[in-house]
Structure 1
């Protein structure tokens, strides 16, 4: 199973990446905005170096602006990853205009993720283009009234391992459990969901009892 931390907030990276849970970090313009960053002004060489320093093997970042600018932006992102010593993955939204930019970016030789997937039919696009990942938005699908569990299970069946289905937009760990029960094994998690994986009240209580016993105390 591969987990990715979905955040542009470096303090959250510093808190959660050292747990060793995460293969990498994913981000996009919305996450950057929430972290108080100007996406066009991000220094990706510095960001990639920081991610690598914290143990990331991959950094996923999303294209933005005019489609004509995607190729140069992707080239720069791949170069930033190479300098930092980690894989950088170019995220491209599944819109008609953006899809047309995929072949030229694929020719650069770096990994690609198609993002904002909402329907199993979009897996055919990802397979035909030979990209590495497709990211369905589970939470947003559910909130739009779609049968998200069934649709993502169909995506997994159609993909058959290529591309990898990386589930995004999760709202809680229970959704992750339900998806894993259907064979999904690649998730991007918000810092809050990541924190929820690290603790459980009953586990915390058991650990406290162990410590108390070791200290010669008895808990009621």
Structure 2
């Protein structure tokens, strides 16, 4: 199973990456805005080095602006990853404009992720484009009244391992559990969901009992 931390918040990177749970970090303009960052001003070489120093093997970031600028931006992200010594992945929205930009971006020989996926038919496109990842927005699909669990299962069958289905927009660890029992094994997690995986009240109670026994203070 591969987990990715889904945030641009520096404090969350510092807090959660050292746990060793995460293969990498994913972000986009909306997450950067929430973190108080101006997306066009981000120094991706610095960000990539920070991610590497915290143990990340991959950094996923999303194109933005006029579609004509996608290729130049993607080239800079790949270069940032090369300088930092980690794999950078270019996220491209599954829009007609985004799809048309893929062949030229692919010519740069770096990995791509097709994002903002809402329907299994879009996996046909991602597969035909030879995308490395496809990211369905599970939480948003569920909130829109779509049969999200069944649709994600269909996506996983269609992809058959390539592209890798990277489930995004999760709302809880319970959603992650439901998806994992249907064969999904690659997730982006918000800091809140990531922290919810780190502890359980009964586990904490048991650990406290062990410590009490070890110190002879009783149970």
TM score, norm. by length of structure 1? 0.99
Query: Residues of 1 paired with 2:196 and 2:103: CA distance?
Result: 39
What residue in structure 2 maps to residue 195 of structure 1?
Answer: 195
Give distance in 2, aligned partners of 1:182 and 1:10: 33
Question: Counterpart in 2 of 1:184?
Answer: 184
Q: Whole-Å Cα distance in 1 between the matches of residues 218 and 174 of structure 2?
A: 34
Structure 2 CA distance, aligned partners of 1:10 and 1:86? 18
Q: 2:72 maps to what in 1?
A: 72
Paired residue secondary structure (1:30): helix
Displacement, 1:78?
Answer: 0.1
Aligned: 1:57 with 2:57: yes
Cα distance in 2 for partners of 1:104, 1:217 equals 67
Q: Determine the structure 2 residue equivalent to 1:35.
A: 35
CA RMSD of aligned residues (A): 0.4
Corresponding residue of 1:122: 122
Q: 1:6-49 deviations in whole A, cap 9, x for unaligned?
A: 00001100000000000000000000000000000000000000
Q: Deviations over 1:31-80 (max 9, x none)?
A: 00000000000000000000000000000000000000000000000000
Unaligned residue ranges in structure 2 (runs of 5+): none
**TM-aligned CA deviation for residue 218 of structure 1:** 1.7
1:82-141 deviations in Å (ceiling 9; x for gaps): 000000000000000111000000010000000000000000000100010000000000
SS of structure 2 residue aligned to 1:89: strand
Q: Which runs of 5+ in 1 are unaligned?
A: none
Q: How does 1:1-220 map to 2 (within 5 A)?
A: 1-219=1-219
**SS in structure 2 of the partner of residue 61 of structure 1:** strand
Q: How far did residue 217 of structure 1 move?
A: 1.4
Runs (4+) of structure 1 exceeding 2 A deviation are: none
Cα separation, 2, equivalents of 1:217 and 1:154: 54
| Distance of 1:97 and 1:7 partners within structure 2 | 25
